Amino acid sequence: MDIRNIAIIAHVDHGKTTLVDKILHSTNIFRENQESGELIMDSNDLERERGITIFSKNISVNYKGVKINVIDTPGHSDFGGEVERVLKMADGVLLLVDAFEGPMPQTRFVLQKALQLGLRPIVVINKVDKPNCRPDEVHDAVFELFFNLDATEEQLDFSTIYGSSKQGWMNTSLTPTDNIFPLLDTILEKVPPPSAEEGTLQMQITSLDYSSFLGRIAVGKVARGVIKENQPLSLMKLDGTAQKSRVKELYVFEGLGKKKVSEVKAGDICAVVGIEGFNIGETLADFENPEALPLINVDEPTMNMQFSINNSPFYGRDGKFVTSRHLKDRLEKELEKNLALRVSETGSADSFMVYGRGILHLSILVETMRREGYELTVGQPQVITKEIDGQKCEPYENLVVDVPTEHSGRVIDLVTQRKGEMLIMENKGEMQHLEFEIPSRGLIGLRSNMLTNTAGEAVMAHRFLEYKPWKGYIPGRSNGVLISKNQEKTTGYSIDKLQDRGRFFVDPGEEVYVGQIIAEHIKPGDLVVNATEPKKLTNHRASGADDASRIAPKTLMTLEECMEYIQQDECIEVTPKFIRMRKVILNEDERKKTQKMQQVEA
């Protein structure tokens, strides 16, 4: 049976997962009466809530007697580690581009990886049903992008498909049809079947699956030879040693699930059960003459954050896993499948330094742990600096902002304050397209500021460029915070009196503790306040005074917003039910002593 292995790559929100839905529907994976819903591949709760793909997934469909293995990949560069490892399973790549926005920074990032691996691209210009879209200009921009990324002659001669995933049609021209078969025909025609060399078994583990019944499952493409059920083999470890093992069960992907088989030939993607202690990037090879495949290279992390146990006064109230041993085990488990993540121990047994690709990458890990019942404290995200040729260097990013013309001045002002340099400014209809080069530090806290200043209209995206010399001081948050003076429930009476001092993060009746951040101050500098004082009862009747208190609802902040908001002497307490910001040192006198000591040292 013929096989085609194809990965779908695109910038966030350009329609990858919707296209996969349409491929599943048009190849009759579902029974006539079966409810399937939308965004079938985004099975994780976090993915559905945020509308983004976080983990890459495999499915397979049959079309005209050919098996097409489809790999859906994340669009965010924070999850680039996921993309880099799964591209090894593909022989061709479907590059999806929005017909209005054109190629975006993350499109470039993932495409570069695919071209370096020598994959054959097919370009899909999606969303041509949108008003003021510009498919021809986008086609030229994509060609230019390929050229800039040093694509080969063969790769530059890519096929282009136009269509709308949402409306369920694709065509080689701009004429709408009623199906997506022209796309599937192009895949069969242009994507080469997997090339299989002669020789003994070689299969690189590029992904892992977990089943509570079967344990850890190794997923990868058989590069050479045949893998059979019950076959003895060697697992080539990352350190060069060989570990003898045996295959218990073999599965291939069929539709949305897996099908048990007795053998898998070279070129197909399969899942192997029964291999103990494997890691991503290791090779399953012949028992007698094992040969390892080259390791997967994943870009280095650019940001780090301290994860510690929760040591607030409300410790252990609503989490199941609260000790440092729980935290360590969970982070080690995450390292097995999250290739772009690194964890190192600190001087304290209660805290660990976690390194990742960006704030979104780290916040998804924290959010996942929170939902699993963990309690922890996370510190302010910091960029990772390096010393290159005796000079202190920091990561820089390429920032792209699309914003209505009337707000472009505010955006340029905000980015230049944070040491960004403008490279490109051009008009796209009523929108202004701006490109900057900015230190990664400057991006922390920029998104919320920019949305506030552009009435929520700005669309920003960024990707890692390279390490360059340190840019000096970048201003952070301009306002201080209001800190709780005592541990009790807040009262409407106190909050009403303090409302003109700041914007509150708590509602009346919420329990707070000493050192917890309860509001943003309207001025620079922190202020310790009492928000728990009840109204004193007297014998006098107050005519209508109680009705006059009008308390604004609290400002709700997501985990990422909190991570971008806090300063170096602050941290976030994360529990399954609450996200609270607090000072690292809760006691006010202790804080002042530490500040004085730091000033003396400075």
Measured at the CA of 485, the angle between CA 591 and CA 312, to 5 degrees, comes to 70
202-285 — its CATH code? 2.40.30.10
Q: How many CA atoms lie within 13 A of 476 on its CB side?
A: 15
Span 481-537+549-571+579-601 CATH architecture: Beta Barrel (2.40)
Do the annotations mark residue 166 as ligand-binding? Answer: no
The pLDDT value recorded for residue 309 is 93
Do the annotations mark residue 78 as ligand-binding? Answer: no
Q: Is-same-fold flag (3-190; 202-285)?
A: no
- pTM exceeds cut of 0.85: no
Is residue 283 a contact partner of residue 292, using CB atoms and an 8 Å limit? yes
Summarize the confidence of residues 281-305 as an average pLDDT: 82
Q: Which amino acid is located at 307 in the chain? A: F
Do the annotations mark residue 128 as ligand-binding? Answer: yes
Over pLDDT 90: what percentage of the chain? 16
DSSP state letters, 546-570: GGG--PPPPPP--HHHHHHH--TTE
Do the annotations mark residue 129 as ligand-binding? Answer: yes
The pLDDT value recorded for residue 488 is 92
Report the number of secondary-structure helices (H) and strands (E) in the chain: 15, 35
Name the burial class of residue 16, with classes exposed (0-12), middle (13-18) and buried (19+) by CB atoms within 10 angstroms of its CB: buried
Is residue 396 a contact partner of residue 466, using CB atoms and an 8 Å limit? yes
CA distance 484 to 469: 40
Domain 388-469, CATH among 3.30.70.980, 3.30.70.240, 3.40.250.10, 3.10.20.30: 3.30.70.240
Q: Helix, strand, or coil here: 313?
A: coil
Q: pLDDT tens for residues 389-408? A: 889 999 998 888 888 888 88
The DSSP call for residue 481 is E
Task: Kindly give, in sequence order, each residue whose CB lies less than 8 Å from that of residue 196, ignoring residues fewer than 6 positions away.
Answer: 223, 224, 265, 266, 267
Do the annotations mark residue 126 as ligand-binding? Answer: yes
Q: Where are the domains of the chain?
A: 3-190, 202-285, 388-469, 481-537+549-571+579-601
The DSSP call for residue 406 is G
Name the burial class of residue 379, with classes exposed (0-12), middle (13-18) and buried (19+) by CB atoms within 10 angstroms of its CB: buried
3-190 — its CATH code? 3.40.50.300
pLDDT bin (cut points 50, 70, 90) of residue 546 is low
Q: pLDDT tens for residues 438-478? A: 998 888 888 878 888 888 888 887 878 888 999 888 887 78
Do the annotations mark residue 13 as ligand-binding? Answer: yes
More confident residue, 28 or 158: 158
Does 235 score more than 80 pLDDT?
yes
Do the annotations mark residue 18 as ligand-binding? Answer: yes
Q: Which of 363, 375, 466 minimizes the C-alpha distance to 52?
A: 363
The pLDDT value recorded for residue 366 is 92
pLDDT bin (cut points 50, 70, 90) of residue 71 is confident
Length of the chain measured in residues: 602
Q: How far is CA 8 from CA 75, 100, 101, in A?
A: 10, 19, 18
Do the annotations mark residue 199 as ligand-binding? Answer: no
